[in-house]
Amino acid sequence: MSRTARPDATELETVDAAFRAGAEAIGLADDLRTVLATPHREIVAQVPVRMDSESLRVFAVYRVQHSSARGPYKGGIRFHPSVERDEVRALASAMTWKTALADVPFGGAKGGITLDRKELSQGELQRATRGALRGLQKVLGPHRDIMAPDMGSGPAEMAWLMDEYHRVEGYTPAIVTGKPEELGGTCGRLEATGEGLAIAAREAAGEIGLDLGGARVAIQGFGNVGSHAAEALRRLGAVIVAVSDVEGAVHNPSGLDLPELLRRARTGIIGHDGMDVEAITNEELLAIDCELLVPAAVGGVLHGGNADAVRAELIVEGANNPTTPAADAIFAENGVTVLPDILANAGGVIVSYFEWIQNLQNVSWTREHVDQELEARMVRAFGVTHHRALHDGATLREAAYRIAIERVAAALRLRGFEYT
């Protein structure tokens, strides 16, 4: 098959295809299928920001609330210049299925603001963040919609969002998760997605007979998720042979010096002297000779044009929607196991749930307790998914969506959906 540079499906098309297949497989009633196929609410608001130069720029902030059948809306807010409505719709829908599969009492939502943080000063970024909160405030709340970090945002932005909400509603730490610990954040949240991914990878590897001890791992995307996944996988005995960022990738078939890469990550992993590495492209990384591939950057990187080139036995999705339906079909045909994003990267929302309940109860958990609970929930989520896949003769993605859709549909029925 010839390679193509672009994916053959958008993120929204990818999520919609998984939902439609899952709904069809479980025989979901047409009325429920219609409701769950589209978001409950979409908001777009202006964010006017006075720049340091005294000029005015207007950004757009989006919030898509997909479903609250199982609890308040929950989802991150990303800061990226390419943020647009369909992308946010896709991510909000995926959050509904992720929280249901992880069995945490949340629904699904997502947000984004169309800015490039590298172009803004710290003051401009803070004013934009606070403006985004003001634009969305009427639809947010600790029992209504809770935001969290996503691509381009982190603890600092969550602190500003919490403080802006506080100015009107009073002290409400549960309005966001992923905050600094000093402001009610939980220990372990920053690392949670990457560490949860490693737990899921360990469970999946065991089921397919892959020994993680000495297994070669390639990770596309060396940000928060990818870097913490690399550390956690290394602790399990895996050898990290390739990693990448937006500038490119580095490869050493004998294993990279991960501590050194982590020290240099702030300035990028490319172009450093004194390291025994080969510079490769992000596309070449996906086809590296390895046992475990972790796409942890952006959506649509594995598609019909490059899936046949993947040599990994196991793909663990750290990014949202990195695999298109066409690539999924090729992987199934080639015997490649794919651990889907709504399972593999659920560690972040699981520990966000822990943070939320600590805030509501005004208590603080130890790191040991957080880690134990994360381990238990990730193992349980993988176990029910794997069991369903074996029972149905389905892929892990197909099984994951069937479980999640059944849980959300059951919640809607129990709430009296048929009679409203």
How much is the pLDDT for 261?
Answer: 85
Q: For the domain 40-176, what is the CATH superfamily, name and number?
A: Leucine Dehydrogenase, chain A, domain 1 (3.40.50.10860)
User: Please, how many CA atoms are within 13 Å of residue 404, restricted to the half-sphere of its CB?
Assistant: 35
Topology agreement, domain 40-176 and domain 190-344: yes
Cα 165 to Cα 185: distance, rounded to the nearest angstrom: 16
Asked whether 24 and 394 are in contact (CB, 8 A), the reply is: no
| Interval 243-262: pLDDT, tens | 998 888 999 999 998 888 88
DSSP, collapsed to helix, strand or coil, labels residue 169 as: helix
| Interval 275-290: pLDDT, tens | 778 889 999 999 999 9
Asked whether 117 and 152 are in contact (CB, 8 A), the reply is: yes
Whether residue 232 is predicted with pLDDT greater than 60 in this model: the reply is yes
Q: What percent of the chain has pLDDT over 90?
A: 90
- The closest of 299, 277, 300, 298 to 288, measured between CA atoms, is 277
Q: What percent of the chain has pLDDT over 70?
A: 96
Whether residue 133 is predicted with pLDDT greater than 80 in this model: the reply is yes
How much is the pLDDT for 262?
Answer: 85
pTM greater than the 0.85 cutoff: yes
- Amino acid letter at 362? N
Whether residue 317 is predicted with pLDDT greater than 60 in this model: the reply is yes
- Amino acid letter at 411? A
Active site residue 110: yes
Least confident of 6-15, 216-225, 260-269: 260-269
CA separation, residue 54 to residues 49, 116, 124, 281, 332 (Å): 9, 19, 11, 41, 55
Longest CA pairwise span in the chain (Å) = 68
How much is the pLDDT for 274?
Answer: 59
Q: For 190-344, CATH number? A: 3.40.50.720
Q: How far is CA 245 from the centre of its chain?
A: 17
What is the band of 271 on the pLDDT scale with cuts at 50, 70, 90? low
Tokens of 335: 């015997």
Return all residues near 361 (Cβ < 8 A) that are at least 6 apart.
Answer: none
Q: What is the mean pLDDT of the chain?
A: 94
How much is the pLDDT for 237?
Answer: 96
The one catalytic residue among 98, 110, 118, 138? 110
| Interval 291-303: pLDDT, tens | 999 999 999 999 9
Cα 196 to Cα 316: distance, rounded to the nearest angstrom: 11
- Amino acid letter at 7? P
How much is the pLDDT for 277?
Answer: 83
How much is the pLDDT for 420?
Answer: 41
How much is the pLDDT for 246?
Answer: 83
Can you give the residue ranges of every domain in the chain? 40-176, 190-344
Tokens of 404: 């999640």
Cα 224 to Cα 282: distance, rounded to the nearest angstrom: 17
Whether residue 323 is predicted with pLDDT greater than 70 in this model: the reply is yes
